[in-house]
Structure 1
Amino acid sequence: MTGRTPRITSFVRAAALTGAAVAVLRATAPGGRARWERTNHAGRPVGLYAGPAVALAAAVGAGRVLPGAVPAVVAAGVCGAYDDVAGAGDGRRGLRAHLAALRDGEVTSGAVKLIGVCAAGLLTGGALKERPVDKVLAGVVVAGAAHAVNLVDVRPGRAAAAVLALAAPGLLREGPGAPAAAVAMGAAAAVLPGDLRERVMIGDMGAHALGALLGAAVVAGNGRAGLVAHAAAVVAAAVYGDKVGGSAHARYHSCE
């Protein structure tokens, strides 16, 4: 088996599972159509099937190629799903607003998501790295990547396209992170056409799950220097996104 074969297989499996999951959810609509179909920011009907589908494919794919990433992918997806539902009417935008509310004793959906994703990131960092400093850096990368992908989810197809672009360098490198990057790319590629046509959206659930897997792929494929560089990048993205991205993200996710 050549070095490229596991990547191709991981990509194809993830894309196929994502497509199948979207089709099953669309056909069955557990809990009723009203739970899965919304009117988006532009007044067009859109389905929420893609979020659970990509989260499922990311978790299953991670279990095959990078088991240590599974807790972060699952936790990020669950926390994102909670924010998709509970955060719909929350007027607070950005990390600072949610942290300020938490300091005042109010637990917002964004705070739940932040705490859950960070904890899962640290757990994954502990599973993938041996030294304490590397474990912490890895946790920052995983949680930060989940947040970063969600930040760019402000237009149809933007988050899925970002995953494809960000995962491509990891896919080209030899190492344990490459198959995980392929899983993220396969899931993102499967939903991108429908996302661009505004037929489905991945929501916080899908964006966070894909981002967490992407971060885990980075962690698996990098040593201390790479972890420091990627941790700095995701922290900078979080700070910048907190200043300029919250309103755009909120408008895009304002489905009825």
Structure 2
Amino acid sequence: MSQLTRTVGRAFLGGLAAGGTIAAIGAVRRSKWAADLERVNHKGDTVSLAEGPGVTVGATAASVLGANSPAYAVAAATTGLTSGAVGLYDDMADTKGEKAKGFKGHVGALLKGRVSAGLVKIFGISAAGIASAALVDLANGELTDERRSLARRVWNVGVGGGVIAGAANVINLFDLRPGRALKVVTIASAPLSRPPGPKSRRHTAAGGANTALAVSAAAGAAMGEDLEGKTMLGDGGANALGALLGLSYIARTGMIGRHVALAGVAALIAASEKVSFTKVIAETPVLRELDELGRTKS
């Protein structure tokens, strides 16, 4: 395949992700569910959660189209749609007064005999992550490689699933101010969207690069209205974009890379239980300037 053909193909995927996102957001905002997707943001303004389903549709569709194997296409669809769906379910529960927040809150609710929407989301994304990691390893021939022990193959799938689920959670942690999560997604997508070299030993690397490209394009399409405070990702959009980024990462890396990433996302999630990311950003000049860049001033 020539360089020109690859460039045109990637441009088409990016356009599909962006166009699909914009079209889906518009369709949801015109639907009969539009009122149910309104919520109040940190400033007291009413915003629409239509952005969540929009970026889920746009990014997932382009990721599936950009897959270079049937197994990876199924993995992309499973990751994006499941994460977006259970995240949206959690969003809807939140508007109806769901009280359980954070991992401790969800566990506490379970100990009281109640399955919170957040716990449904955690299990849903985790299951999708494990299934998708297994499909990635199947496409790369690693899941059936008898030179590795069964325990090692299963463990690697579990770590990959953890990276996907952890990435979904991390992006959601940043969705507390207009544009913040989308900026994090855009920055994280940049290195992952770079096409793999000809010596890449992972068959799914090209599909992973296209997934990151799709995520970046969908985020860019949604950025304007998010920064203006008209729409927001919600759990649905943040989880879908984060999970797809996690999928892109494991599609391009091996066992060591997966363990490093899992340690990183676990550390961020643990830190979020003790430290306010919003406070850290506000107290760090460079991060504060980047965070406020393009945001509509009140």
Both proteins in one fold, TM over 0.5: yes
Is residue 240 from structure 1 mapped to residue 247 from structure 2 by the alignment? no
1:90-169 map, 5 Å: 90-129=98-137, 130=143, 131-169=153-191
The number of residue pairs the alignment matches comes to 246
Residue 240 of structure 1: how far off its partner (Å): 1.2
Aligned equivalent of 2:226:
195
Assess, with a 3 A threshold, how the Cα gap between structure 1 residues 244 and 109 changes in structure 2: closer, same or farther. farther
Paired residue secondary structure (1:238): helix
**CA spacing shift, 1:6–1:216, aligned 2, 3 Å:** farther
Q: What is the letter of the counterpart of residue 93 of structure 1?
A: K
Is the counterpart of residue 210 in structure 1 residue 241 in structure 2? yes
Match of residue 251 from structure 1 = none
Counterpart secondary structure, 1:244: coil
Could you say which residue in structure 1 is the equivalent of 2:193? 171
Matches of 2:100 and 2:36 in 1, distance apart? 24
Matched residues in 1 for 2:195 and 2:64: separation? 20
Q: What code does the residue aligned with 1:30 have?
A: K
Q: Is the 8 A contact 1:6 1:179 kept in 2?
A: no
Q: CA–CA distance in 2 between the matches of 1:245 and 1:110?
A: 20
2:296 paired residue number: none
Counterpart for residue 286 of structure 2: none
Structure 1 equivalent of residue 92 of structure 2? 85
Q: What is the CA–CA distance in structure 2 between the aligned matches of 1:153 and 1:23, rounded to whole Å?
A: 21
AA partner of residue 227 (structure 2): L
Q: In structure 2, what is the Cα distance between the partners aligned to 1:44 and 1:116?
A: 31
CA distance in 2, matches of 1:65, 1:223: 21
2:252 is the counterpart of 1:221: yes
Query: What is the CA deviation profile of residues 104-144 of structure 1, one whole-angstrom value per residue up to 9, with x for unaligned ones?
Result: 32211111111111111111111111232221111011111
Partner of 1:155, secondary structure, is coil
Of the structure 1 ranges 234-243 and 112-121, higher mean CA displacement relative to structure 2 is found in 234-243
Q: Distance in 1 between matches of 2:11 and 2:111?
A: 46
- CA shift, 1:4, in A, is 4.1
CA–CA separation in structure 2 for the residues paired with 1:202 and 1:117: 17
Percentage of identical aligned residues: 35
Give the structure-2-normalised TM-score. Answer: 0.77
Query: Which has the higher Rg, Structure 1 or Structure 2?
Result: 2
Q: Name the counterpart of 1:72.
A: 79
For 2:18, the aligned partner's letter is: A
The DSSP-based 3-state class of the residue aligned with 2:177 is coil
One-letter code aligned to 2:158: V
Q: Is the 8 A contact 1:75 1:117 kept in 2?
A: yes
**CA-to-partner distance for each residue in 1:77-101, whole Å, 9 max, x for gaps?**
1110111011332233211221232
Q: Tell me if the contact between 2:133 and 2:160 (Cα under 8 Å) persists in the aligned partners.
A: yes
C-alpha separation in 1, matches of 2:183 and 2:271: 20
| Corresponding position of 1:30 | 32
**Alignment partners' CA distance in 2, 1:247 and 1:82:** 25
The one-letter amino acid of 1:46's match is V
Structure with greater contact order relative to length (CA < 8 Å, sep ≥ 6): 1
SS of the equivalent of 1:87 reads helix
Cα shift at 1:182 = 0.3
Residue 47 of structure 2 aligns to a residue whose secondary structure is strand
SS of the aligned residue for 1:172 comes to coil
Q: Which moved more, 1:205-214 or 1:61-70?
A: 61-70
Return the TM-score normalized by structure 1: 0.89
RMSD: 1.9
